[in-house]
Structure 1
Amino acid sequence: MANQQLFLGIDCGTQGTKALILDTLSGQVLGQGAAAHSMISGANGRREQDTQQWLDAFTQATHQALAAAGVDGQAILGIGVSGQQHGLVLLDDQGQVLRPAKLWCDTETTPENDRLLAYLGGEDGSLTRLGVVIAPGYTVSKLLWTREQHPQVFERIASILLPHDFLNHWLTGRHCSEYGDASGTGYFNVRTRQWDARLLEHIDPSGRLQSALPELIEAHQPVGRILPAVAAHLGINPDALVASGGGDNMMGAIGTGNIQPGVITMSLGSSGTVYAYAAEPVVSPQPSVATFCSSSGGWLPLICTMNLTNATGAMRELLELDIDAFNALVARAPIGAKGVCMLPFLNGERVPALPHATGSLFGLTTTNLTRANLCRAVVEGTTFGLRYGLDLLRANGLEAQSIRLIGGGSKSPVWRQIVADIMDTTVICTEQSEAAALGAAIQAAWCHSGSQQSLADLCERCVKLDPASETRPITEQVAASQKAYANYQECIATL
């Protein structure tokens, strides 16, 4: 075992928890595991999860990954946790969870967000004060909603945690947060890297919320050692260090080697994200660009679309298609789907900024209403949202030679070509599609080394690109895609 250095990376997402075992000496992922979560949904945009599911899934996925890797859990040196951003977990003074976690995709708190935004002086005021424009998914409106809808719960709040902070607390007993995930709360200033206490006092003048905030730590700092009982429960080394961890996008950046300028990561998950590393907090005047902190010591300007594989999945279910049949139909339809344009805003939308929008189909005729065109239109519609966001990032000075593609959608060669053509940029997948779990494991190694190993060296060794997936834009398809994108923009203008 002396020729291995083993780390556990965990990614607790909306749909499930993934675990992987990384040997940082060889740079190889030795084994993986996964367990699903379910959602509590309501007609008014409620999207919540029972936090116990996360703990059960963490345990199950870890056991699976250790078994798949064929390694002894006692050899694990450290753990890194990636978590879905913006979620709100509330604990009482006994450390007990007070209610289900409200998630990033919850839009029930839109009225509260609107009121908080007005208090901040609108989008410009929010940008000036925080460096980001608060959106309904962010944590801050969830706190105001809790105060108004569940005053008894609100009175008992002793600790306010994000999903990854909650998992770190379960592992170590310590309440802390790092700057990357903290920047998505809406009560954190991304320029100064400090909590905005005045905003929390506006929600509750007693000052209780401020005292419930976790301590902020740097990305390279470990939270501490795992608790002996949790180590025994997971079957891992009781001396394992727990890294600072971070939000899924921040960990995805590390897991795609996106820790210096020039790389763009694009994630095709249930939501879509595009982000790139920046050494300075150059805040975009565009409200849709979130200049979050990274979990590697810099900043991570990012755009997020609310609808991606949730929309393609809904179309697949409607037409009763498996993934292969769906992809075959997408490939059969021409670029632009013969004029069928889908705005896939099933969940409202963040980019373009249309929180109250619903999904719609434009351009249907008796001749173009085919299954193939519908399938093509939903893939193009979701990808156009990412193009819209990429244009915003480029307008803010972002340059990139290629796009590193991750997430479920990246496994489809048809979709990769559509992305390359619409973005007019070469795309390539990383070998390890679970980029957030990989990034968490790499960050754990970085924290464990006391920063003796540079993060760049670890990424160099552990992040591998898949040359077979490299997809270049095709000139005539770029031109056709540009026309289809112009049609999409015209459809957006009608909303």
Structure 2
Amino acid sequence: MYLGIDCGTQSTKVVILDAEKEEVIAQGHAPHSLISDAKGKREQNPEDWILALEQAYWQAVNKAAINPSSIRAIGVSGQQHGLVVLDAQGQVIRPAKLWCDTETAPQNAELLQALGGDDGSMQRLGLVVTTGYTLSKLAWMQQYHPSDFKRIAHLLLPHDFLNYWLTGQCMTEAGDASGTGYFDVRRRGWCPDVFELIPDASHLRNALPDVIDNQQMLGKVRPEVAKRLGLSADVWVSSGGGDNMMAAIGTGNVQEGRMTLSLGTSATLSAHLNTHYDGLHPSIAHFCSSTNGWLPLICTMNLTGVVEQMRQLLNLSITEFTDMAASAPIGASGLTLLPFLNGERVPNLPQAQGQLLGMTPLNLTSAHMSRAVFEGISYGLKYGLDCLLAAGLRPQSICVTGGGAKNTFWRQLLADLLRVEIVCPAAAEGAALGAAIQALWADHHRQGDPVNLTELTARLVALDESTRVVPCSEKGEAYHEAYQTYQHRLRFQFPELTL
């Protein structure tokens, strides 16, 4: 048995993978609370992740009706970019600033300018630092919490922190480290010289965790944690990785020609490359993968949360809201939502606010507003896919995971808009499954059996063919016209934006 853990923004998910049966036999889930304000603060207490992990773990174990001692190894997936800082005693110094925190936008703008803009950042790091990356969180902390900043002895990401709790080891891997802003994705190593851009930050060089290969085990579970979870004394923990990297594994996106789209609080669209490619659009985060390759990725920050807020505003169930959207015409009769309730990463508008444009007596209805929400949150994905296509990446289909993937109407909308087939994996929790598969992969390597990860995913990642939708060319043309209207209004509202 192999355990996969995914610590996301809203909750922690746990899956138990039976490697012999080649299937997930149980899963668990526990929510997180969020510390937020109108200024863009988005934080969580790392200790809450541990509590959620334990709750989700026991749910899964009880559902599977197994003895926890049968678990051989654990893999951890975590939301990317979050800043977890520990003192010399290994204690959390302050709440973790998350990927969706936009309070640090001014610090990121200053850091990007100091790096020499997009070109300078690309030359130093192999990607362009954006608001949300860990670097600007450190600059913000130095500015507003200088005494706490001086206490930093360990710099970790959310998945690193859970690995630390499990094993006592401060280590990381290249995939998750790619999104820090102080990691060179081309040579897969730290770039601590970037800390020179932050005052009084020389001590951070010694706070960086070691980077291990993805097929390596990080260490054994600590005895006190093993006892707490009912595990044997010989359970290993793999390197794990960021949630996007683990979702790629969990959807079979480990070779060129595959793409993964995750529809959750945020949306990420990622491909796989065997080698680093210097010609990618600056909006694409050219992350390393957690499979020793690369995972070019775009991220939009406003997705299911926008649907949920508008649904509540209209006092509709999700089924009613979706039916309303489906009843309105493509393009919502000219109604356009710029869905930037929490700023935006792609396109790069960290301090933007949402806008509803083109209102008329005809389209100011619940149905048109519902349609405008689904279309508005999908247009950023269209822009991101176009950036990936411009680099020569050609997906045969896109595997869609996350909570939003369950919505049949939305899947068809995406297929028509993006003009590519859409299909869901059989396992709903792609990132948690990916973490479990990586743990299995690393366990094989530990035992001297260097099994191929592509072969493992071919066996363990199944597609649910009943969810497959194909694009309609006629609807695609209608969406093309609506998308042109969206881009025109986006440029008008944000003339500084380069599309």
Shift of 1:375: 0.6
- Which of 105, 123, 131 aligns to 2:126? It is 131
Instruction: Tell me which amino acid in the other structure corresponds to 1:458.
Output: L
- Which of 466, 469, 472 aligns to 1:468? It is 466
Shift of 1:286: 2.0
Secondary structure at the counterpart of residue 351 of structure 1 = coil
Shift of 1:280: 0.8
* Inter-partner Cα distance in structure 2 for 1:215 and 1:444: 19
Instruction: Tell me which amino acid in the other structure corresponds to 1:395.
Output: A
- The 5 A counterparts of 1:97-176 are 97-176=92-171
Aligned: 1:430 with 2:425: yes
Contact 1:16 1:34 in 2 (8 A): yes
- Which of 199, 214, 220 aligns to 1:225? It is 220
* Inter-partner Cα distance in structure 1 for 2:170 and 2:60: 27
* Inter-partner Cα distance in structure 2 for 1:112 and 1:284: 27
**Cα deviation per residue 1:116-145 (whole Å; 9 max; x = unaligned)?**
111100111101110111111000011111
Aligned: 1:49 with 2:44: yes
Instruction: Tell me which amino acid in the other structure corresponds to 1:85.
Output: Q
Contact 2:42 2:98 in 1 (8 A): yes
* Inter-partner Cα distance in structure 2 for 1:404 and 1:158: 40
**Cα deviation per residue 1:63-120 (whole Å; 9 max; x = unaligned)?**
0011111111000000000000000000001100000001000011111111111110
Cα 1:373/1:445, change in 2 over 3 Å: same
Secondary structure at the counterpart of residue 311 of structure 1 = helix
Secondary structure at the counterpart of residue 265 of structure 1 = strand
Contact 1:63 1:235 in 2 (8 A): no
Q: What residue is the counterpart of 1:260 in the other structure?
A: 255
Shift of 1:34: 0.3
Shift of 1:237: 2.4
Secondary structure at the counterpart of residue 57 of structure 2 = helix
Q: What residue is the counterpart of 2:482 in the other structure?
A: 484
RMSD: 1.0
Shift of 1:283: 3.0
Q: What residue is the counterpart of 2:453 in the other structure?
A: 455
* Inter-partner Cα distance in structure 1 for 2:475 and 2:453: 38
Shift of 1:205: 5.2
Q: What residue is the counterpart of 2:84 in the other structure?
A: 89
* Inter-partner Cα distance in structure 1 for 2:250 and 2:468: 18
* Inter-partner Cα distance in structure 2 for 1:231 and 1:40: 30
Q: What residue is the counterpart of 1:392 in the other structure?
A: 387
- Which of 173, 186, 190 aligns to 2:181? It is 186
Bigger drift between 200-209 and 337-346 goes to 200-209
Aligned: 1:340 with 2:335: yes
Cα 1:206/1:292, change in 2 over 3 Å: closer
Shift of 1:403: 0.6
Shift of 1:238: 2.4
Secondary structure at the counterpart of residue 231 of structure 2 = coil
Q: What residue is the counterpart of 1:3 in the other structure?
A: none
Instruction: Tell me which amino acid in the other structure corresponds to 2:452.
Output: S
Secondary structure at the counterpart of residue 87 of structure 1 = coil
The number of aligned residues is: 490
Secondary structure at the counterpart of residue 31 of structure 1 = strand
Aligned: 1:316 with 2:314: no
Secondary structure at the counterpart of residue 96 of structure 1 = coil
Shift of 1:204: 4.4
Q: What residue is the counterpart of 2:396 in the other structure?
A: 401
- Which of 202, 215, 227 aligns to 1:207? It is 202
Instruction: Tell me which amino acid in the other structure corresponds to 2:289.
Output: S
- Which of 238, 255, 279 aligns to 2:274? It is 279
Percent identity, aligned pairs only, is 53
Secondary structure at the counterpart of residue 82 of structure 1 = strand
Secondary structure at the counterpart of residue 467 of structure 1 = strand
TM-score by length of 1: 0.98
Contact 1:402 1:426 in 2 (8 A): yes
- Which of 234, 239, 250 aligns to 1:239? It is 234
TM-score by length of 2: 0.97
Instruction: Tell me which amino acid in the other structure corresponds to 2:424.
Output: C
- The 5 A counterparts of 1:59-74 are 59-74=54-69
Secondary structure at the counterpart of residue 469 of structure 2 = coil
Cα 1:96/1:130, change in 2 over 3 Å: same
Secondary structure at the counterpart of residue 454 of structure 2 = helix
Shift of 1:207: 2.5
Shift of 1:23: 0.9
- Which of 52, 74, 80 aligns to 1:79? It is 74
Aligned: 1:301 with 2:301: no
> What runs of 5+ residues in structure 2 fail to find an aligned partner?
494-499
Contact 1:201 1:210 in 2 (8 A): no
* Inter-partner Cα distance in structure 1 for 2:136 and 2:70: 42
* Inter-partner Cα distance in structure 2 for 1:265 and 1:491: 29
Secondary structure at the counterpart of residue 387 of structure 1 = helix
Shift of 1:192: 1.1
* Inter-partner Cα distance in structure 2 for 1:318 and 1:428: 30
Contact 1:271 1:306 in 2 (8 A): yes
**Cα deviation per residue 1:149-179 (whole Å; 9 max; x = unaligned)?**
1111011111000000000000000000000
**Cα deviation per residue 1:180-207 (whole Å; 9 max; x = unaligned)?**
0000000000001111111113324562
* Inter-partner Cα distance in structure 1 for 2:357 and 2:435: 42
* Inter-partner Cα distance in structure 1 for 2:123 and 2:218: 31
Shift of 1:314: 1.0
Instruction: Tell me which amino acid in the other structure corresponds to 2:434.
Output: G
* Inter-partner Cα distance in structure 1 for 2:224 and 2:390: 50
Contact 1:201 1:209 in 2 (8 A): no
* Inter-partner Cα distance in structure 2 for 1:46 and 1:205: 24
Q: What residue is the counterpart of 1:31 in the other structure?
A: 26
Shift of 1:357: 1.4
Contact 1:24 1:458 in 2 (8 A): no
Secondary structure at the counterpart of residue 369 of structure 1 = coil
